[in-house]
Amino acid sequence: MENLFNMFLASEVIVPTNATEFTFWIGAMAMAAASVFFLLSLDAGGGKWRNSMLVSALITGIAAVHYLYMRDAYASMGGDGVTAFRYVDWILTVPLMCVEFYLILQKAGAPKSLMWNLITLSTIMLVTGYVGEAGHGDAVIFGTISGLVYFGIVYILWLGSAAELANKAGGAVLEAYTALKWFVLVGWAIYPIGYMAGTEGWYSGLFSGLSGQMDLIYNIGDAINKIGFGLVIYNLAVAK
Ligand SMILES: *C/C=C(C)/C=C/C=C(C)/C=C/C1=C(C)CCCC1(C)C
Binding pocket residue ranges, ligand 1, CB within 6 Å: 90, 93-94, 125-126, 129, 143, 146-147, 150, 188, 191-192, 195, 222, 225-226
**pLDDT at 11 exceeding the cut of 70:** no
What CATH number is given to the structural domain containing 225? 1.20.1070.10
Mean pLDDT rounded to a whole number for the chain: 94
In a domain, 5, yes or no: no
Q: State the total domains in the chain.
A: 1
> Contact, 34 vs 230, CB < 8 A?
yes
Phi, psi of 138 (to 5 degrees): -60, 125
Q: For residue 188, which atom of ligand 1 is closest to its CA?
A: 9
Counting atoms of ligand 1 from 1, which one is nearest the CA of 147? 14
Ligand 1: centre distance to CA 11 (Å): 34
pTM of the model: 0.93
234 with 41: CB under 8 angstroms?
yes
Report whether 162 contacts 180 (CB < 8 A): no
Taking 90 as the threshold, does the pLDDT of residue 240 lie above it? no
**Domain contains 227:** yes
Average pLDDT score over residue span 154-178: 96
The answer to the question of residue 10 being in a domain is no
Residue 81 lies in a domain: yes
- Local confidence band at 15 (pLDDT 50, 70, 90 cut-offs): confident
Q: Is the C-alpha dihedral spanning 196, 200, 203, 204 positive or negative? A: positive
User: Could you tell me the residue range of the domain that residue 220 belongs to?
Assistant: 18-238
CA 150 to ligand 1 center in whole angstroms: 8
Average pLDDT over residues 161-172: 96
